[in-house]
Structure 1
Amino acid sequence: MSETELRDGYDDVEDRAEDRLDEDDRLKPDFVRAVVDAVQSGDVEEAHALVAPLHPADIADLFELTPEDCRRDLAAAIADLLDADVFAEMNDYVRENLIDALDARQVADIASELDTDDAVAIIEDMEPEDQREVLRAMEPDDRAAIEEALSYPEESAGRLMQRDLVAVPEHWTVGHVLDYLRGDDHLTTDFWEIFVVDPAHKPVGTCSLSWILRTPRGIAIADVMKREQTLIPVDMDQEEVALRFQKYALISAAVVDGSGRLVGMITVDDIVHIIQEEAGEDTLLLSGAGEGDINEPIRFTVRTRLTWLLINLPTAMLAATVVGLFDERIARFAVLAQLMGIVSGMGGNAGTQTLAVVVRALATNQLTGSNTLRMIWRELRIAASNGAGLGMVVGAGAYLWFGNPALAMVFGLALFINNIVAGLAGVLVPVTLDRFDIDPAVASSVFVTTCTDSLGFFTFLGLAALWGLGG
């Protein structure tokens, strides 16, 4: 083939790719509609031809973008393209919906092609009876690995780890290792490090492939390996695992059981997904929006959000009770009703800012017992500075608008005080919850909202009473 033909072929592939993906590598709406139209019209060949060139991750995205009532028909049209790589990239809810349409043998075949952690992600959410049926259909070795993984707590290193790794004894030479890697057809093909173990199968070091390839055969592997390593306990929470990978810039890490024996490894590609999940999870928990997955069934979303709204209802009632203590004064001086919402609202915004920073600091281990007091003092100074600035601005504005210096003073001072309350609550509430092993991302916002609303109203209306406004 000539250079011109090669260039033309390359340009043709690029043109077809541009028809499917936009500049951000997202599937274009027109392409998705074309696939859906082909499926709904029964043109299986056209649907297959459109989808065939896509990367597995793009096929997974296509299913998420396809209407729910059309997904199973799409799966039937491109059945031969639905390999393990596609299922591994697929959204959990979308994947669960498709898995329900497959028989146990098909699910077992897909799971057998995946790494253990990806296979567990498919099987762990199935109904117990379906789960047992799929496991029975699997090969004994694959079944044993998945059953072992399912015995560990959810979101732990045991669920996350892969069993396929390369471990060699410390008395081997580099030559022994090379012969072993080349001669054993059953070894995993995707690895970056080799784990060196003692006779009890406890990891004593690691050796990267580049070191082995550049070292003479006669050198002992114990002389080449790196003895300092980060070991991951099998029951460690996945969020803590991700923090260790981030802190120590790890590519992979050994997972050990309670006796210190090597039982698996975790690689950085798994950690990327965990970091993304945990970051989004904390943000959504702060708002009470549940998982925030647009593919989540509506009944689950309604239940989660309604529960959170009902939890917040008492805080609103408490704030209303505080206002009720001053209803006569408000009735005589109606402008108080106009301004008190600003005091509580600005306090709530300030509290949310502080809360977001503190929850993130706790999640990433930036905030610990050793620097808590320093963090409180830092946020107190920030709150005081912001409160003073806002207080002067709103006080001046109130004076110019209403021409009442006492009202301006009360308004500005109340906003200053509530800003400080918001800053302190934004730090103390999540830190206290964390000390009691309660997830601060779940419960903090209720308490902070209660503080800023109730104390905001009380401060503003109480100062108004002391100044004699509306008396």
Structure 2
Amino acid sequence: MVSETDHDEDLMTAELPVDEGARPDDRINDERLDEENTLKVDYIRAVREGLEEGDKGAVYDLVEPLHPADIADLIELLTRDERRDLATAITDLMSSDVIAELNDYVREDMMESLPAEAVAHIAEQLETDDAVQMIEDLDYADQQAVLAELDDDDRAAIESALAYPEETAGRLMSREVVAVPEHMSVGSLIDFLRENVDLANDFYEIFVVDHKHHPVGTCQLSWILRTPRNIALSDVMKRDQTLIPVGIDQEEVALMFQKYALISAAVVDENGRLVGQMTVDDVVHIISEEASEDALLMSGAGDGDINEPIREAYGSRVRWLIANLGTALIASLIIAAFGAAIEKLVALAILMPIVASIGGNAGTQTMAVSVRAIAMNQLTEANTARILWREFRVALLNGVTIAVLIGLATGAIFTPILGGVIALAMVINIVTAGLAGVLVPVIFERLKQDPAVASSVFVTMITDSMGFFAFLGLAVAVGLGT
């Protein structure tokens, strides 16, 4: 084994290569990746042709230079049968880094096609949190088969993680942490870090614990490197730290990292003992996942994953379309109630969609702002009334602006009285949309439901119904269509 000192000396004395043009990485990017850093169509076609011809050597040569993340992208771009053929052709390239980068559905499908001992071998190469993410997607029977193939320590760690609910800190945290007693000196700590070969591969700070394994402070690696060896950790550690309860939801974890600008944070159990850590790279994935989830839930599109099985995609989408059908019938019944007026004045039928459409867009704007505010803890029970009043004023200003424009245009094309009717209806509907855009997500939140869950279906129902009712009702009230 080469020592760190020898390695450093080699780095300092090694002769740097002469720049003769593009580096190997640049050549790979030119040949396989386009300017947007995605795999080129010609490259993917070459891999497919190699698979069809059964030329495993050619396929291996094509794939071997790729980064693990790009190999994962390549696997996801292929069909189910092609994925398995590719995995067979590049067996030793299917590293834990590739598996960790795979889409959940693709990874689950590939893991189910492998024997339990093969999955266990992959799991042993992964960090605990990544291994948990891979195994939790398997059926219970497959999970037990894989766990039986693991060594005792790995199995205990994974079973402990699986005992926590999904999307909680306990399920997502990394159990590989560096924790030392507070009586240790900086020099002793440096020696410990250099001599202990079983430490986590990646860590940003050292957690200092007391005799009960309760975290009492943290030391960043930069502090340790710049502090004299004889200084005690208790004199340089940061005692004020953000602790993450093991049962907290991942969305709350992300908010804590954002609010307190954390790089890593200790995760503690119900007794306050250090059991793991969350790091910023985990949180980046959480933020991306939560943002995508909220956007998809607002449209009722389920997981919205292009790799999701057709049956699951159908089931998650059709139920909200059926719900939308029911809410649309309410608006249709309102139109039917004014059928006689519409028959006598065709202009009402021409202008009705404008009122409903503008109201729906206004509601969607407010709803998007509200859902984001709830997710960011900016809209809570303490300030709901203030936010509602704010959005009412915004909606009123928007309503008056649009009302003036549509009123003048309608008055010029049809009649002034009809212009006044649609202007007033527009104000009513946009104000209603603004209030609904806040209240619907807030009601979902109060009912302990995800405020993004198909809120648009209900907001659209309210704006369509109110738009038709206000416009047609006012028209009849002033004698139009009678």
Given that residues 296 and 302 in structure 2 are in contact (C-alpha distance below 8 angstroms), is that contact kept between their aligned partners in structure 1?
Answer: yes
Structure 2 equivalent of residue 228 of structure 1: 240
1:458 aligns with 2:469: yes
Counterpart of 1:428, as a letter, is L
1:291 aligns with 2:303: yes
Structure 2 equivalent of residue 270 of structure 1: 282
Structure 2 gaps of 5+ residues are 1-13
For 2:75, which of 23, 40, 63 is the aligned residue?
63
Find the aligned partners of 2:280 and 2:222 in 1 and give their Cα distance.
18
For 2:479, which of 462, 468, 471 is the aligned residue?
468
Structure 2 equivalent of residue 408 of structure 1: 419
Structure 1 equivalent of residue 179 of structure 2: 167
Structure 1 equivalent of residue 366 of structure 2: 354
1:314-393 matches, within 5 Å, as 314-393=326-405
Alpha-carbon distance change, 432 to 173 in structure 1, aligned in 2, over 3 angstroms: same
**Pairwise CA distance, 1:90:** 0.6
Counterpart of 2:248, as a letter, is M
Secondary structure of the residue aligned to 2:248 is: coil
For 2:440, which of 419, 429, 443 is the aligned residue?
429
1:11-410 matches, within 5 Å, as 11=23, 13-402=25-414, 404-410=415-421
TM-score by length of 2: 0.95
Alpha-carbon distance change, 364 to 5 in structure 1, aligned in 2, over 3 angstroms: closer
Secondary structure of the residue aligned to 1:442 is: coil
**Pairwise CA distance, 1:43:** 1.2
**Pairwise CA distance, 1:216:** 1.6
Q: Deviations over 1:108-155 (max 9, x none)?
A: 011111111110111001011110000000011000000000000100
Given that residues 320 and 454 in structure 2 are in contact (C-alpha distance below 8 angstroms), is that contact kept between their aligned partners in structure 1?
Answer: no
Q: Deviations over 1:165-208 (max 9, x none)?
A: 11001111112212221222212231111000011100000001
Q: Deviations over 1:374-424 (max 9, x none)?
A: 21122111111111111111111112222x111111111111110000001
Find the aligned partners of 1:264 and 1:460 in 2 and give their Cα distance.
59
Find the aligned partners of 1:292 and 1:346 in 2 and give their Cα distance.
27
Counterpart of 1:47, as a letter, is V
TM-score by length of 1: 0.97
Find the aligned partners of 1:228 and 1:4 in 2 and give their Cα distance.
45
**Pairwise CA distance, 1:432:** 2.2
**Pairwise CA distance, 1:4:** 11
Secondary structure of the residue aligned to 1:8 is: coil
Find the aligned partners of 1:348 and 1:19 in 2 and give their Cα distance.
47
Counterpart of 1:167, as a letter, is A
**Pairwise CA distance, 1:334:** 1.9
Find the aligned partners of 1:110 and 1:352 in 2 and give their Cα distance.
45
Structure 2 equivalent of residue 449 of structure 1: 460
CA RMSD of aligned residues (A): 1.5
Secondary structure of the residue aligned to 1:54 is: coil
The count of residues paired between Structure 1 and Structure 2 equals 469
Counterpart of 2:168, as a letter, is S
Counterpart of 1:411, as a letter, is I
| % identical equivalent positions | 59
Q: Deviations over 1:21-58 (max 9, x none)?
A: 11121111111111111111111111110110000000
Given that residues 87 and 94 in structure 2 are in contact (C-alpha distance below 8 angstroms), is that contact kept between their aligned partners in structure 1?
Answer: yes
Q: Deviations over 1:83-102 (max 9, x none)?
A: 10000011111111111121
Find the aligned partners of 2:262 and 2:400 in 1 and give their Cα distance.
45
Given that residues 217 and 237 in structure 2 are in contact (C-alpha distance below 8 angstroms), is that contact kept between their aligned partners in structure 1?
Answer: yes
Structure 1 gaps of 5+ residues are none
**Pairwise CA distance, 1:68:** 2.6
**Pairwise CA distance, 1:5:** 7.3
Secondary structure of the residue aligned to 1:441 is: coil
Find the aligned partners of 1:53 and 1:15 in 2 and give their Cα distance.
10
Given that residues 442 and 451 in structure 2 are in contact (C-alpha distance below 8 angstroms), is that contact kept between their aligned partners in structure 1?
Answer: yes
1:439 aligns with 2:450: yes
**Pairwise CA distance, 1:12:** 5.3
Find the aligned partners of 1:383 and 1:69 in 2 and give their Cα distance.
53
Find the aligned partners of 1:443 and 1:19 in 2 and give their Cα distance.
43
Secondary structure of the residue aligned to 2:348 is: helix
**Pairwise CA distance, 1:67:** 2.3
Structure 1 equivalent of residue 10 of structure 2: none
